[in-house]
Amino acid sequence: MKNIPFLNNWLKRRDTAARGTAVFGPGADGDSDTEGLAELLAECELLRSRAGDAGLELDDSPASLEALDQLTPRWRDDPEELPWLGNDAGLYLGSVIVRTVPGAAWQLWPSGQPVVRLASGREINVVEFGLDWAVNGAPELSQVYAEVSEL
């Protein structure tokens, strides 16, 4: 992450060890509900709300990632919302990848961090990409998608 003074000061006042989404599973019976997990991670309520405010309806398509990249990043004016929106952007990116790239699926690291596992076995930390996008505007979500879909 680049040095952004207001954000760095804000993050120092909070526990930065717990950044992003953590999901714990499988259930107590050992059953893994991958479809339910995908639905949960695709909610991205804050991102969908902010996109809707800008007149953009997110339809879980690669084209919607391009449209998100074109939005004016007004969320950068709100340091409290910035990490949450970045988290949602990463989960949305992951949801688009899982729905459109053959063999891609959600995977949970032992810490509960959701990542996208490609058919090749490569794991993509989409939340990290979403946070970078929200804070810096780069890499663009559509660029990450394009690179991942070619692997």
Query: Hey, where are the domains in the chain?
Result: 32-149
**pTM of the model as a whole:** 0.78
Q: For residue 79, report the phi and psi dihedrals to the nearest 5 degrees.
A: -65, -20
pLDDT score at 33: 64
pLDDT score at 38: 83
Asked if the model's pLDDT at residue 22 lies above 80, the reply is no
**Domain 32-149 fold:** Four Helix Bundle (Hemerythrin (Met), subunit A) (1.20.120)
For residue range 26-42, list pLDDT tens digits in order.
433 344 567 888 888 88
Q: How far is CA 55 from CA 49, 52, 60, in A?
A: 10, 5, 15
Q: How far apart are CA 4 and CA 8, in angstroms?
A: 6
CA-based nearest residue to 10, from 90, 74, 81: 81
